[in-house]
Amino acid sequence: RKEVEQDPGPFNVPEGATVAFNCTYSNSASQSFFWYRQDCRKEPKLLMSVYSSGNEDGRFTAQLNRASQYISLLIRDSKLSDSATYLCVVPGQDRKLIWGLGTSLAVNP
Amino acid sequence: ETGVTQSPTHLIKTRGQQVTLRCSSQSGHNTVSWYQQALGQGPQFIFQYYREEENGRGNFPPRFSGLQFPNYSSELNVNALELDDSALYLCASSLKDRGDTGELFFGEGSRLTVL
């Protein structure tokens, strides 16, 4: 299994839809997980941190499944402005951060 | 905005040349990490500096080197540029002990093109 793996997409959804991305990781000792958002040709920005079973912030929910070693990001009521690449980040065995390749989301009018 | 600034924003070099990229970290942050992001890829960790010392390195050759200054700003130097070095170079600052949390604050990056 790759250290961090994401479905690259692209996910094309209409406005208002609910969409979910998964990210699998190999380091079972990881305690913290992060979702970053990256707009085209821009820098990544922290979207959510996940330290326990999950985290919710408005339309965004991140959940952690330690048994299956994956985290998910759920976006409800998608907006056009949610179009971006979503990057999953997991600390590796040497505590350095491992980044997924990202999942591309396009929200269409 | 994150308060992390990088320069230059764009630059073009030719193979074999050398380049220096600069980063000013967010006020109070003592850790700087450098990443390389090729088109369509996730960021790849180059190295990290904590209180002026290298604190971890990714799988990059020695021609990638860096510095951190007493004010916590940082430089990334790349010697003997290769075509594959063309990428967005991102600097991220953080504060927590040894900066190995995932809560990083990125600059807008320096886009390097090697011809």
Look at A101 and B42 and tell me if their CB atoms are within 8 Å: yes
Residue B43's SS3 state is: coil
Q: Residue B107: what pLDDT?
A: 94
> Is pLDDT larger for residue B8 or for residue B30?
B8
Instruction: Please name the member of A43, A97, A101 whose beta carbon is closest to the beta carbon of B102.
Output: A97
Burial class (CB in 10 A: 0-12, 13-18, 19+), A103: buried
Please, how many CA atoms are within 13 Å of residue A89, restricted to the half-sphere of its CB?
28
In Å, how far is A2's CA from the nearest CA of chain B? 14
Q: Tell me what the pLDDT averaged over chain A comes to.
A: 91
Contacts A95 to B, Cβ<8 Å: 100
* pLDDT tens digits, one per residue of A70-80: 999 999 999 99
Q: Which chain A residues are Cβ-neighbours of B101 within 8 angstroms?
A: 32
Please give the pLDDT value at position B98. 46
Q: Which residues in chain B are contacts of A102 at CB distance < 8 A?
A: 42
Q: What is the pLDDT of residue A28?
A: 82
Q: Where are the alpha helices (DSSP H) in A12-63?
A: none
Strand residues in A1-109 grouped as ranges (E): 4-6, 11-14, 19-25, 33-38, 45-50, 54-57, 60-65, 70-75, 84-91, 97-99, 103-108
Smallest Cβ–Cβ distance between A49 and the set B35, B48, B102 belongs to B102
- Closest chain B residue by Cα to residue A86: B42
Nearest to B33, CA basis, from B47, B21, B52, B53: B47
Work out whether strand B110-114 and strand B10-13 pair parallel, antiparallel, or are unpaired.
parallel
Contact B43 A95 (CB under 8 A): no
> Chain A within 8 Å of B99 (Cβ-Cβ)?
no
pLDDT at B99 > cutoff 60 = no
B81 touches chain A (CB under 8 A): no
Mean predicted confidence (pLDDT) in A89-99 = 80
Cβ-defined contact of B107 to A43 (cutoff 8 Å): yes
Quickly count: other Cβ atoms within 10 Å of residue A89's Cβ.
25
